[in-house]
Structure 1
Amino acid sequence: MNLKELSNILNLSQTTVSRALNGYPEVGEKTRIRVIEAARKYNYHPSYSAKRLAMGRSHAVAHVVPQNPQHSMINPHFSDFIAGAGETYARYGFEMLISVVPYDEQEQCYRELARSRRVDGVIVHGPYKEDPRIPLLENLKLPFVVHGRMEGKATHYSWLDVNNRSSFKRATNFLLDLGHERIALLNGVEEMDFAFRRRLGYESALLERGLTVDPSLIFSADMVEPYGYDVTKKLLSTEHPPSAVVTSSVLTALGVVRAVQECGLQVGHDLSVVTFDDELSFLQYPGVPLFTSVRSSIKDAGSRLAEILIDQINHPEKGPIQELWEADLVVGRSTGPCR
């Protein structure tokens, strides 16, 4: 049984039948009940194509992933985010389109998505402090929501962000309370908004304790394991190595651990480590966690951002939805008092 056959039996248009099954208010209650009963009787299940016909939409959402040599978006963080978003899309009957494009071809990709109407909206990943994608999407009238936000210009569009500044201020203060004063920061790419805010939090914690910010202890790069390893090896070979490190990713922190162990030292005793932890699904530890961390679920963020975008697609008259999540501080085995 397909939509056309069911419509012929009911002597109704395919659009009316589809709208009745999808709960549109313009369909009368008697007609809706009649359609639902017939669908049950003939074991009819709406197809995606029928929904698209009735609603004038694609029922699809795009994730445009730029290939940037400085920062790779295809990483374990992205896979957990997509898992959360995908669960929400499935619940609401949406499909997901992932387009991996060269960094300088993003504008062309967004324009083509808007022109072809292949998708009803997009999620923007990894915003920069000044990000041309946001004004572009506003001009294209393509619904979007941002995972993160753009510095100083986050009032007129929908976004969800972790409070990166307060998270890293809290992480640094935790180490300061343990007596550490020489604390290194292994940050992400600081042209990106989240990393910029994290550095501000780190610096403000030091300055409020009357300490000087030492540029030689601040690093910025793509958040991968070798980055943490290489920087830590160099730091530990200096005359005055730090007693603690704050990292922007648990992947980077794993590199820190590898370097410390190779030097015959112990994490939490010779070098304390606090990291930002996206609660990656494949790095969950039983009992006391390995890392002391400021923690937020990237999978939950993906799920919530998908909900916000679908709500914006279904109710374009609504104003922007903006959510700032606070991270939890979880004490693990990677920190201890300064020796």
Structure 2
Amino acid sequence: MNLKQLSALLELSQTTVSRALNGYPEVSEQTRKRVLEAAQRHGYKPNSNARKLATGRAGSIGYVLPVGRNVDLDPHFVEFLSGLGEHALVREVDLSLTPASYERESEAYRRIAASRSVDGVYLSSMRNDDQRIGLMKKLGIPFLAHGRALQPAEGYAFVDIDNEGAFHDAARLLLQLGHRRLAYVNGDTDFAFAVHRLNGVERAMARYGVPLESLQHHSAAMNEENGYRIAMTLFRDTQPAQRPTGVLSASMFTTLGMVRAFNQLGLRMPDDVSIITHDDVFPFLKPESFSVPLTTTRSSIRAAGARICERLVDIISGVETEPVQEIWPVDLIVRASTGPVPTVRRPVRGRAAEPAE
């Protein structure tokens, strides 16, 4: 189906249909949705070169992908990219990845701006004092942040989850169950999400009158090996009276390593230790698949990817003109890994074997 046929089918002018497909703000949202749905239903594919000439746009959104020896491919990114790609297909925009080391990140953004290879970019892994926000404004690149920085706090658009609220509710559940010796295995506190989560845990502890200095807080990259190592430190290498009875974990991948340590040490959930983890969203790592189903906090990363794409396209086309800051609530799903504080502390098994290199 060509543009003329699609226009006749919808009883709209070819100009209106073209403008709706290309995101012009003067087309109403109702008309734009009607045109997009009809185009997808009838297999209409606009000529990309003609569209670029007509609109002056690249028809692409970009992301600077961190690479290097010390950078791991984050499984969260793969799930996020799936949602982003699904919506990009609907909006008929391409995705462009620009690899760059952390040290040359700003250079990559400058190159993107100079080449006009994309119409806008999204930022992720927001740091506490994120210099990229000011750089995007200086370069004039339309952008949207996935997450938010501590500084600056205002003046830019983002989509984030309520990290503080999520971990406040998780810590509150453990405190309601009688736990007073808590451990929190956090992500890297150079990133704002980790700071927000720690704030939530501490706010819940203050509410219940539990001294903040009693919290055993560990900050590390969120992976299985760090989870295993920290759990061994908390339970094998700590005096029984100081071992936590309730643990909060920032990631399912960290928790995977922690559960491996629990199994080696003969600790049972929730009889010996209760645990709550984040990111109940991966199709290949489900909380119900563990020997004891895990209590989790949940917010869809895939849905966030779709929302980032939707809003970024609207920002590029002028439909969204204000720096809207969108914060999603997070669900707490209670399963079998949490229970009342144990009244009898069983000894852990002897020194466990260190993991193979």
Post-superposition offset of 1:208: 1.8
Q: Could you list the structure 1 runs, at least 4 aligned residues long, displaced by more than 6 angstroms after superposition.
A: 16-19, 24-27, 68-71
Among residues 293, 296, 301, which one is paired with 2:299 in the alignment? 296
Alignment of 1:14-53 (within 5 A): 21-23=18-20, 45-53=45-53
1:165–1:200 Cα contact (<8 Å) kept: yes
Percent of aligned pairs with the same amino acid? 37
Matched, 1:179 2:178: yes
Post-superposition offset of 1:278: 4.8
Structure 1: gaps (5+ residues) = 7-15, 28-42
Distance in 1 of aligned mates of 2:219 and 2:115: 39
Change over 3 Å in CA distance of 1:338–1:66 after alignment to 2: same
Alignment of 1:66-215 (within 5 A): 66-67=66-67, 72=72, 74-214=73-213
Moved more, 146-155 or 80-89: 146-155
Distance in 2 of aligned mates of 1:223 and 1:111: 30
Q: Secondary structure at the match of 1:161?
A: strand
Post-superposition offset of 1:216: 6.8
**TM-score normalised by length of structure 1:** 0.85
Moved more, 316-325 or 127-136: 316-325
Q: What is the identity, as a one-letter code, of the residue corresponding to 1:258?
A: R
Deviations 1:248-272 (Å, cap 9, x if unpaired)? 1111111111100110111222111
Post-superposition offset of 1:219: 0.5
Counterpart of 1:269 in structure 2 is 271
Alignment of 1:209-288 (within 5 A): 209-214=208-213, 217-237=216-236, 238-239=238-239, 240-284=242-286
Change over 3 Å in CA distance of 1:274–1:119 after alignment to 2: same
Moved more, 83-92 or 317-326: 317-326
Distance in 1 of aligned mates of 2:92 and 2:114: 23
Structure 2: gaps (5+ residues) = 5-12, 28-42, 343-357
Counterpart of 1:33 in structure 2 is none
- May I ask how many residue pairs the two structures share in their alignment? 313
2:294–2:336 Cα contact (<8 Å) kept: yes
Distance in 1 of aligned mates of 2:71 and 2:45: 43
Distance in 1 of aligned mates of 2:63 and 2:45: 28
Deviations 1:2-28 (Å, cap 9, x if unpaired)? 99xx9xxxxxxxxx978864446999x
Q: Secondary structure at the match of 1:97?
A: strand
Deviations 1:41-94 (Å, cap 9, x if unpaired)? xx984222221111110010111122377764x211110000001111110010
Deviations 1:180-211 (Å, cap 9, x if unpaired)? 11010100000100001111111111122111
Q: What is the identity, as a one-letter code, of the residue corresponding to 1:137?
A: M
Alignment of 1:46-61 (within 5 A): 46-61=46-61
Counterpart of 1:308 in structure 2 is 311
1:183–1:217 Cα contact (<8 Å) kept: yes
Distance in 1 of aligned mates of 2:26 and 2:225: 58
